[in-house]
Amino acid sequence: MAAALPHGFASQQEIDEAYDPTYRAVDPAGANRHLAERSEEAMRTLRHRAGVPYGPTPAETLDIYPAERPGAPVFLFIHGGYWRARAARDFACVALGPQARGFTTVLVDYALCPAVTLDEIVRQVRAAAAWVIRHIAEHGGDPRRIVVGGHSAGGQLGAMLMCTPWRAQYGLPDDPFAGALLVSGLYDIAPLRYSYLQPAIQLDEGIVQRNSPVHHVRRCATPVRLSWGSLEQPAFAQQSQAFHTAWQAAGNRSELAPQDGADHFSAIHGFEDADSPLCEAMQRMADGTAA
What are the phi and psi torsion angles at 10 (to 5°)? Answer: -100, -15
* pLDDT tens digits, 102-126: 999 999 999 999 999 999 999 999 9
Which of 13, 156, 234, 113 is closest to 5 using CA atoms?
13
Q: What is the mean pLDDT of residues 183-191?
A: 98
d(CA 62, CA 78): 10
Whether 92 has a pLDDT exceeding 50, the answer reads: yes
Per residue in 245-261, pLDDT (tens digit) is 999 999 999 999 999 99
Q: In whole angstroms, give the CA distance from residue 133 to residue 125.
A: 12
Question: Cβ contacts of residue 60 below 8 Å, gap of 6+?
Answer: 53, 54, 109, 110, 111, 124, 127, 128
pLDDT at 1 over 50: no
Q: How far apart, in whole angstroms, are the C-alpha atoms of residue 60 and residue 111?
A: 7
Tell me the fold of 37-43+51-287: Rossmann fold (3.40.50)
pLDDT at residue 153, as a whole number: 98
Rg (CA), the chain: 18
* 3-state SS record for 53-112: ECCCCCCCEEEEECCCCCCEEEEEEECCCCCCCCCHHHHHHHHHHHHHCCCEEEEECCCC
Residue 158 has pLDDT above 80, yes or no: yes
Q: Beginning with the edge strand found earlier in the chain, give each strand of the sheet holding 104-108 in spatial order.
A: 49-53, 61-65, 104-108, 72-78, 141-151, 179-183, 224-229, 254-259
With b for 16 or more beta-carbon neighbours within 10 A and e for fewer, the 246-276 pattern comes to: bbeeeebebeeebbeebbbbbbbbbbbebee
Q: Which residues contact 82 (CB under 8 A, 6 or more apart)?
A: 152, 153, 192, 197, 200, 201
Q: What is the pLDDT of residue 291?
A: 74
Three-class DSSP category at 47: coil
